[in-house]
Amino acid sequence: MSGIQDAILLTLQAKLQIVMIDALEEGDPTRAGVVKIGDLQGDPDPDQARISITLFVNDPDQELGGNQLGVSGSEWDDQIEETEIGGGIVWRRRFTVKARCLMVNSREDATTSRSIATQVKQRIEKTILSMNYGGVAVDNEFVCRGAFGDSVRSEMLFSGGPPDSYDYHIKIRFDVLTSEMIGVN
C-alpha cells in the first residue's frame, strides 16, 4: 500500500463488496457483479457484471474548464486542501464511486430499470455515509473524519437503446478528512 488514499479505497472496496455483492442473494436484481478500484477495462465483461462499481481518487472525469459529463453549475474542485490544526495537518481527500447499471440483456422495463438503478445509487450513498474508517492509517496519517452528507454529491444519468435496453451511469463524489501528526515518527 502506498498511501492513505489507497488505504481509504481498499476499506471502501471491502465494505461495498459486502453491501453490494456478498450480502445479497444471487438472483437479486440490484446485486453488483464487481466492485473494483479503477476502470474495468473489459474485466469483467458487462454481460457478466451488468452492475459494476468502480472507485477512484478524485474525479476521473474532471477536466480543466468543466467535466466530461457536461454537468452545468460549479465544477467539483480536485485540489487537496491543507489546514494546520493544533499539532497536526488536516487534508480533504476526494474520491469518486462510479456505478453502471447496464440492463440490455436482462430486458427490464423502464420503471423496473429506474428502480434498480435508484436502489443501487441509494445503497452506495448510505454505505459512504455510514463508513467507519477507524484504524485506517498509513505511517503518521490517519482518517480523522469520514464523509458528511454535505460533502456527498451524486448524479444518475440515463442512456439506452430500444425500449427495453436501459443503461444508467451513476457517479457519487465525496471527501474525507485525513490528518498527519507533526513530529510523530
pLDDT of residue 68: 45
Quote the domain boundaries for residue 98: 4-63+94-134+148-174
Residues 22, 127: Cα–Cα separation, whole Å: 14
Q: Show the DSSP H helices in 50-145 as ranges.
A: 110-130
Task: For residue 182, tell me if it sits in a domain.
Answer: no
What are residue 27's phi and psi, to 5 degrees? -90, 5
What grid cell was written down for 152? 456527498
Q: Mean pLDDT, 10 residues at a time, over the chain (185 residues)?
A: 88 98 95 94 78 94 55 48 63 93 84 94 96 90 87 89 82 92 61
Q: How much is the pLDDT for 21? A: 97
19: CATH: 3.30.70
Q: What cell was used for 168?
A: 444508467
Q: What is the pLDDT of residue 184?
A: 53
Please give the Cα distance from 183 to 148 (Å, whole number).
29
Q: Is residue 72 part of a domain?
A: no
Is 107 within a domain?
Answer: yes
Specify the pTM: 0.83
CA angle, 25 then 110 then 117, to 5°: 45
The pLDDT assigned to 86 comes to 58
Cα–Cα nearest to 153, from 95, 113, 99: 95
Cα distance between residue 116 and residue 8, in whole Å? 27
Q: How far is residue 153's CA from residue 147's CA, in Å, rounded to a whole number?
A: 11
Query: How far apart, in Å, do the first and last CA atoms of the chain sit?
Result: 18
Which pLDDT score is estimated for 72? 43
184: which 3 cell numbers?
510523530
Q: Pull the grid cell for residue 126.
A: 448510505
> Cα-flanking dihedrals φ and ψ of residue 59, to 5°?
-120, 110
The whole-number pLDDT of residue 33 equals: 94
Quick check: is 141 in a domain? no
At 147, list the grid cell: 464523509
Q: Is residue 161 part of a domain?
A: yes
Is 75 domain-assigned? no
Number of domain units in the chain: 1
